[in-house]
């Protein structure tokens, strides 16, 4: 990875989990960071403290992405902190687990699409327009999921949001390539975070999941951070409209039994 030092990057959903891992790695690479959070005040303070040990050029902004009308003002604030941005990481999202019959009016479905799909679409469009207006290129990374490619019961809202995010990424890459703006997807597999660490590391659960992965282990938040850094860096400057799947080979196995 190269070309990241002093790049100005906005990371959404940076208060914990993969977003916090992204922030740590990008700070190590010398990036100047704007970190978004919503409700997790203690989490963003921890991320901020971790990042400041690596790079003092960091600020935080709060926004509830369910309130779509607030996104334009939020983006303008983020853009002004370092007098512009070079990259946008759309990481913020909600994981919705429900069967369709328990959400017949699609209330959870709509909320999930607002945060996971509409917000990244709106922020990416604002970022692209700002880059064009200022005569500069840029890079966008959309944090999707393997559920956008292969999914299971309970995940209709979440999987729909991620599959659509994968599709939008390709369209935006085509539309904005002429302006030097790259748009790619990171699709993580099973990565324990604060919300899931306890259950995923129970011996039976760990055996169940890790035996299904050719790599034989879970991913880490820092590994997702390194993948994000690659996608933002000059090492990936001929890469756009692509999905980088980081899942230890889980969906490559195709759910075939081990032999």
pLDDT digits (tens, 9 = 90+) for 57-95: 999 999 999 999 999 999 999 999 999 999 999 999 999
3-state secondary structure of 147: helix
3-class SS of residue 87? strand
- Quick one: which of 98, 121, 116 has its CA closest to 108? 98
- pLDDT band with cut points at 50, 70 and 90 for residue 98: confident
Return the closest-CA partner of residue 90 out of 47, 39, 141. Answer: 141
- State residue 258's pLDDT score: 62
Give every CB contact of residue 224 below 8 A, 6+ residues apart in sequence.
18, 21, 22, 143, 186, 188, 191, 246
Q: 68, 43 in Cβ contact below 8 A?
A: no
At residue 255, the pLDDT reads 72
Using an 8 Å Cβ cutoff, are 72 and 56 in contact?
Answer: no
**Active-site residue, from 37, 158, 179, 218:** 158
Residue 257: CB partners within 8 Å, gap ≥ 6? Answer: none
pLDDT in tens, 30-55: 999 999 999 999 999 999 999 999 99
Find out whether 181 and 135 touch, Cβ atoms under 8 Å.
Answer: no
Strand pairing partners for 90?
142
List, for residues 124-147, the tens digit of each pLDDT value: 999 999 999 999 999 999 999 999
Q: Which two tokens stand for residue 137?
A: 């290129």
Q: Name the pLDDT band for 229 (thresholds 50, 70, 90).
A: very high
- What CA–CA distance (Å, rounded) separates 148 from 138? 25
How open is the CA angle 84-229-220, to the nearest 5 degrees?
130
Domain ranges of the chain: 8-189+223-246
The pLDDT of residue 221: 98
| DSSP structure class, residue 257 | P
Tally the residues of the chain. Answer: 259
How far apart, in whole angstroms, are the C-alpha atoms of residue 200 and residue 124? 33
Q: What is the tens place of the pLDDT at every residue in 194-206?
A: 989 999 999 999 9
Query: Judging by DSSP bridges, how do beta strands 87-90 and 58-62 pair with one another?
Result: unpaired
pLDDT value at residue 257: 63
Binned at pLDDT 50, 70 and 90, residue 254 comes out as confident
Strand-pair partners of 245: 187
> Given pLDDT bands bounded at 50, 70 and 90, which one contains residue 245?
very high
138 SS3 class: strand
Angstrom distance (rounded) from CA 122 to CA 203: 41
In the predicted structure, residue 259 carries a pLDDT above the cut 80: no
Per-chain mean pLDDT for the chain = 96
Identify the helix (H) or strand (E) that includes residue 240.
none
CB 118, CB 64: distance < 8 Å = no
158 annotated active-site: yes
Q: Decide if pLDDT at 105 tops 70.
A: yes
Residue carrying the six token digits 């989990």 = 17
Residue 65 DSSP symbol: T
CATH number of 8-189+223-246: 3.40.50.720
């Amino acid at each position: 990875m190269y070309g990241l030092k002093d790049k100005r990057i906005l990371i959404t959903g940076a208060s914990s989990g993969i977003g916090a891992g992204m922030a740590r790695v990008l700070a190590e690479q010398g990036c100047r960071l704007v970190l978004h959070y919503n409700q997790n005040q203690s989490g963003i303070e921890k991320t901020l403290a971790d990042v400041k040990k690596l790079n003092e050029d960091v600020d935080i902004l709060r926004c509830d992405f369910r309130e779509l009308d607030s996104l334009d003002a939020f983006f303008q604030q983020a853009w002004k902190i370092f007098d512009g941005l070079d990259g946008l990481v759309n990481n913020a999202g909600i994981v919705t687990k429900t069967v369709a019959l328990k959400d017949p009016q699609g209330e959870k479905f709509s909320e999930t699409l607002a945060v996971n799909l509409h917000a990244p679409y709106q922020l990416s469009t604002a970022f692209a327009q700002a880059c064009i207006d200022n005569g500069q290129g840029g890079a966008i990374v959309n944090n999707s999921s393997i559920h956008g490619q292969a999914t299971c019961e309970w995940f209709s809202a979440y999987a729909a949001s991620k599959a659509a995010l994968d599709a939008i990424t390709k369209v935006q890459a085509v539309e904005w390539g002429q302006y030097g703006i790259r748009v790619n997807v990171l699709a993580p597999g099973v990565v324990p975070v604060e919300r899931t660490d306890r259950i995923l590391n129970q011996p039976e659960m760990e055996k169940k999941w890790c035996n299904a992965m050719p790599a034989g282990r879970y991913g880490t938040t820092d590994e997702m951070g390194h993948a994000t850094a690659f996608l933002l860096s000059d090492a990936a400057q001929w890469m756009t409209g692509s999905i980088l799947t980081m899942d230890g080979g889980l969906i490559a196995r195709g759910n075939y039994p081990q032999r």
